[in-house]
Structure 1
């Protein structure tokens, strides 16, 4: 039934707002890395996909993970044991596809895994995704791509938007964004609040020892965020902006509710999850053909995790029960210089420096300190060989060095051995315009990921020993693609991709150095993986009042090193929707997402089954700029999970009001 629906819907297009989009008004251009001019549709436009602010609100995609899940090649996943949202991009996780805000890296210093659920979208102008062939100007670790969250920038003397909503589970949200542009300076500010007390499970869920159905145990979450940006535009395209952002979150972790007897039940709560950021972005023109950009930043990440003894969450005493605190920060900057002085060449060079500091302790132990510094230098040239053929060539060098690494043994802090590593990353892409609307492209990129602090020094709760000498993971990413716009209303795109990965960091079994008769785990560069697949999409409008769309991803990942399963990615994913606007003040919308089976554990015991989830909504606009919407998520009350044993919400209802001025 699902595949019949998919075959029929393949002939319906996706509007441009969902698929690849060019930069829109209100976008903070200083925050973009791969900038594409609307009139040029250059090489970069073929390799980036953009989710606009309009699309985020149309589909009520209130966090970054949900927003990215609409795109081909992206699989939303959940780390159920931590109650975190994440994504895989063509099979690469967030350590290999780092997260940026306005071009500034914001992935967590310790392990590189940000919880995308904590990053709300109310203050964003767009989300830009690069896959496989991310620009070397981003800096290190873009082994599978890059995700760039681009903030807002005001364009008029006074503008803004605000909204509020209520949903099942005693969930509510509210936000506002205000801005002013006064020719030579501007101010942008905003805030958002989100709260949910619980979510309700599907009626088809069968109760287990740790979950009796109805309200999901320990499923509360609260998030709030404020931001302010002050910018100066003294002349021409010169711009200097300072940003401050504060985020605060609180959440519970619902316990495992599956059938795997080997899964340990966790009673976890996060008393706080905080991020405080200070950013400076600048651009200065050097004549008419050159520029220099700088980015400076300081981020502080603080969170606490309490592990309790039981479902009453009232004692902390058993083995593996703990009170853990992280106090991390990172600071650094980048310098980018670009020029078009050479005919038919657009050359760019960037230098990056980043220092990651991780401090942790389990009470009452003292804080342990870890620090890495990371360097990267990259150069990229877009060469116009003929009127129809362009070449994009890039090369970067990345290096990391451990500055501090402390162990806690027998009541004392001692130093771990320190390591360092480096890597080269060459890439090249060819882009050929077959006609005025059709483009064929092919790219090859050698990409790497430097080991994180956790990769090198974690004991994994006593099951492993550290390895400070880990080398970078390596991948060669190949892709060929085709895009065309037909009859001035339909845009078709297709891409084939293949990644050959070596030195993948996996936990190997070795002899325990403290006990010759026992074995223990250790992270080593032993993995060999291949990932390949197909992406398809059609986009356009069927009529003045009807638009519809679909994208499809075929994905396969093979572990060539051992029999362990690769988790989190189904072989098939389909996203489709239809929007009908019978009146200028009324629109009706339905969307559906389908995932096939995926592994939730490397031994293949835990499998998240296939599912299809449908959502519907109606939007009323009684006055210009004023909208009311109401709808139903999970219309058919499907019992499903991205991570086996951690079921998602059943049918739920919502309503929102918004005003834009």
Structure 2
């Protein structure tokens, strides 16, 4: 098997099997050898310029706050979307924004607004609300998924209050290489992908494309019919997505690298209607997105300065457009004109960062970065006399990070950053205030600024055992939607929102027992102040978002894996989270108190691998008043992989083997028993 730089220590060396979720994820010291070696064989197909926190083999520090899911891990666990891949990691919870049919995750209880999504270190979340539908992001062209929990590097920039999720693209290492695959699953779901690349020494090119199409999914036979769902194939659950990407890189010498990348994504989807029993309190939504388009153009570079210093740059332009149709009923045939039942978003972001690092001071690697991001949101609807509204915000960040080797066994990471949020424009439409139809006026605007600071210590008490402790003060700036949205005339905007603040603490230990049993345990605590929560009846029956929340979160993560025999391995991870809202009786939604995951792989012969996994989640609240909740569930997935000829793998499996009727959000059931077949080839 080709030698690769491992991000998880879960590869069982003597067998080459993967068990990514259940072993220790370690962050290496940001050694200059790693930062300045784009042609290193150890990096495999990882686009190392896309890493913010170095995740390869380093000199001294290995940070358990960062976990990595590799492309091989994604194939092994058959995680086709970023949300599914992230769900493999302890402390990460898969969730569904049911009323929007958007897939998301929570990182130690923080949503994507507080633990944002990046592509090769570049923020790609939607400018309007800071969210992004992870169900639109597939894993076929990724080399790895890097997840930072609690102690995310200040070099990421703003809003990493709870962590960060970084999708790292591929980079070719051979003169010609590639992979391709296709598959089919129940109820006419199809997918196909292809990746290809060439490395010519002084330059390289990486390209790829993917396609996904579904008419919906089959619901569990145990589902009971409701007003807008009669079982069988889920109503209005169709989706189509396709994506193309290309990257051209120059490597003039052994240390420098310059790359230009382009990504185009296009999709459309329906939103399945509410299928629960609480129709009295649930708003009836009959929605469809006729298009969802995202384009990204970005430049990344690394330039060595002498033997111990470097400069990295990132510059990007990202555009997001979508359209929403709001129908009058579940026939999806009538959109009332001139009533606001059509909505168009046309957003774009541009920005840049420059990072300089040096090891001129012995036992220190110092990094200084400046980041700039400009977000523009433009929205339109067909309500009579409503013109297009424009919003623009800019964020500036300066960050300093020092990685220190104190002794041979003791190391530290210190980081501090200063953010400044400038609201450039925020337009409102109200004919009474603005002086007539088609006339816009401006909201009041407020600027925000804040400081982030963090520190971590790492001590190796033996050759295999390590302990760590970390503390971080992180913030999250209110989004354009938080401050200025009327939310279909049910909210009062609040231009004066302040940044949310969280003090994050964690301690952990990891070790190897009996040579091949790897165990890791982490305790964490988040003390969140100025938490943005809904305050009801601010203006009549209308609500408003305000900085009134004080939430405390306690958590525990345990993970372990082992090679039991030459042909059998198994592992597990467990996450406990308890949330206490010290402000009011409102509950924190979408987070189960307990999550348990286990897996096993068995290879009776070299060509054949049998795989099974189990996930158990306890109940989770879907409404902050505690009325609606999604119940506990157990889901079992199985798969068999057979290498018919060298590098040609055929697979078949069953997801949700027991055909459980379960939900991630109350009223929005997930797929029942699903059969699939697929094939992939690598050259």
Q: TM-score, normalised by structure 1?
A: 0.95
* Total equivalences in the alignment: 644
| Aligned pair partner of 1:139 in 148, 151, 157 | 157
Q: Does 1:72 align with 2:90?
A: yes
* CA–CA separation in structure 1 for the residues paired with 2:77 and 2:552: 33
Aligned to 1:537: 559
SS in 2 for 1:70: coil
* CA–CA separation in structure 2 for the residues paired with 1:367 and 1:79: 27
Unaligned runs of 5+ in 1: 1-11, 513-517
Within 5 A, what are the aligned runs for 1:97-108?
Answer: 97-108=115-126
* CA–CA separation in structure 1 for the residues paired with 2:128 and 2:548: 22
How far residue 486 of structure 1 moved from its aligned partner, in angstroms, is: 2.6
Q: Does 1:464 align with 2:528?
A: no
Aligned to 1:625: 647
| Aligned pair partner of 2:317 in 279, 298, 308 | 298
Aligned to 2:194: 176
SS in 2 for 1:504: strand
Cα distance per residue 1:513-562 (max 9 Å; x no partner): xxxxx353222111000111100001232122111110000111111111
Aligned to 2:4: none
Distance 1:37 1:122, change over 3 A: closer
Aligned 8 A contact 1:36 1:42 in 2: no
Aligned to 1:436: 463
Cα distance per residue 1:234-267 (max 9 Å; x no partner): 0122000000000001100000000112101110
Distance 1:314 1:396, change over 3 A: same
Q: Which structure exhibits the higher relative contact order, with contacts defined as CA atoms closer than 8 Å and separated by 6 or more residues?
A: 1
* CA–CA separation in structure 2 for the residues paired with 1:519 and 1:601: 18
Aligned to 1:608: 630
How far residue 43 of structure 1 moved from its aligned partner, in angstroms, is: 3.2
Within 5 A, what are the aligned runs for 1:401-480?
Answer: 401-410=422-431, 411=437, 412-480=439-507
Cα distance per residue 1:437-489 (max 9 Å; x no partner): 11100000000001110111011111222111211000000000111123332
| Aligned pair partner of 2:136 in 115, 118, 123 | 118
Within 5 A, what are the aligned runs for 1:89-238?
Answer: 89-238=107-256
Aligned to 1:8: none
Aligned to 2:403: 382
Within 5 A, what are the aligned runs for 1:498-577?
Answer: 498-509=525-536, 511-512=538-539, 518=540, 520-577=542-599
SS in 1 for 2:664: coil
Aligned to 1:280: 299
Aligned to 1:646: 668
How far residue 42 of structure 1 moved from its aligned partner, in angstroms, is: 2.1
* CA–CA separation in structure 1 for the residues paired with 2:517 and 2:244: 40
Aligned 8 A contact 2:588 2:621 in 1: yes
Q: Does 1:366 align with 2:387?
A: yes
Aligned 8 A contact 2:144 2:168 in 1: yes
Which has the higher mean CA deviation after the structures are superposed, 537-546 or 76-85?
537-546
Q: Does 1:53 align with 2:71?
A: yes
Unaligned runs of 5+ in 2: 1-11, 27-41, 432-436
Aligned 8 A contact 1:26 1:154 in 2: yes
| Aligned pair partner of 1:37 in 49, 52, 56 | 56
Which has the higher mean CA deviation after the structures are superposed, 454-463 or 26-35?
454-463
Aligned 8 A contact 1:21 1:52 in 2: no
* CA–CA separation in structure 2 for the residues paired with 1:553 and 1:537: 9
How far residue 573 of structure 1 moved from its aligned partner, in angstroms, is: 0.3
Cα distance per residue 1:205-252 (max 9 Å; x no partner): 000011011111001011100000000000122000000000001100
* CA–CA separation in structure 1 for the residues paired with 2:56 and 2:376: 38
Aligned to 1:6: none
SS in 2 for 1:566: coil
Aligned to 1:339: 358
Cα distance per residue 1:172-209 (max 9 Å; x no partner): 00000000000000000000000001111100000001
Q: Does 1:17 align with 2:44?
A: no
How far residue 41 of structure 1 moved from its aligned partner, in angstroms, is: 6.0
Aligned to 1:355: 374
Aligned 8 A contact 2:375 2:394 in 1: yes
Cα distance per residue 1:123-178 (max 9 Å; x no partner): 00000000000000100000000000000000010111000000001000000000
SS in 2 for 1:305: strand
* CA–CA separation in structure 2 for the residues paired with 1:321 and 1:627: 50
Distance 1:610 1:153, change over 3 A: same
Aligned to 1:87: 105
Q: Does 1:591 align with 2:613?
A: yes
Aligned to 1:263: 282
* CA–CA separation in structure 1 for the residues paired with 2:303 and 2:632: 51
Aligned 8 A contact 2:338 2:382 in 1: no
Cα distance per residue 1:364-416 (max 9 Å; x no partner): 53210000000111101011111111111100001101111111111221111
* CA–CA separation in structure 1 for the residues paired with 2:88 and 2:357: 33
How far residue 17 of structure 1 moved from its aligned partner, in angstroms, is: 3.0
Distance 1:627 1:182, change over 3 A: same
Aligned 8 A contact 1:355 1:371 in 2: yes
How far residue 15 of structure 1 moved from its aligned partner, in angstroms, is: 4.9
* CA–CA separation in structure 1 for the residues paired with 2:336 and 2:541: 28
* CA–CA separation in structure 2 for the residues paired with 1:15 and 1:213: 37
